[in-house]
Amino acid sequence: MRSDSRLSRMLHVLLHMARQDAPFTSEQLAQMLATNPVVVRRTMAGLKKAGYVQSEKGHGGGWKLSCDLAQVSLLDIHAAVGGPRIFAIGSASENPECGVEQVVNAALDDALAQAQALLVQRLAAVKLGDLAQEFDALCQTKAAHAQHARG
């Protein structure tokens, strides 16, 4: 089964946007993500509707951030891009009168509900600002190592 990477890809885009003052065109973003500009515009529309990005048409236009990264969680972005259900695993319902199916479904439903609650809680706790800080620290560490290697 193919995984849905919209959340990861849009987080990638938003962090790049945070590092550049100029807007990104749909074509630039499509090239970055190895996809079609139409797919980018469709996905970015959800972020725009949620107020996380804005777009301007014409020469010099494109997509820009319009939010405070410290206030936006991974769960917020997941919802804005129309993310799929957290888990694709589901219960069977071919024979609802079957006792075996009932106990299996109850066990699966309980486990999935607990796992989803934990994941949703974690996605809500991580802010885009946290990721931006981690990226900055990574860049500084790499720069320090490169400087040290040069002597």
Please state the three-class secondary structure of the chain as a single string: CCCCCHHHHHHHHHHHHHCCCCCECHHHHHHHHCCCHHHHHHHHHHHHHCCCEEEECCCCCEEEECCCHHHCEHHHHHHHCCCCCCCCCCCCCCCCCCHHHHHHHHHHHHHHHHHHHHHHHHHHHCEHHHHHHHHHHHHHHHHHHHHHHHC
Neighbouring-strand partners of residue 127: 73
User: Using CA atoms, how far apart are residues 23 and 40, in angstroms rounded to an integer?
Assistant: 14
Q: Is the pLDDT of residue 1 over 80?
A: no
pTM: 0.80
Q: Is the pLDDT of residue 139 over 70?
A: yes
Mean pLDDT across the chain = 89
pLDDT tens figures, 8-54 = 999 999 999 999 889 999 999 999 999 999 999 999 999 999 999 99
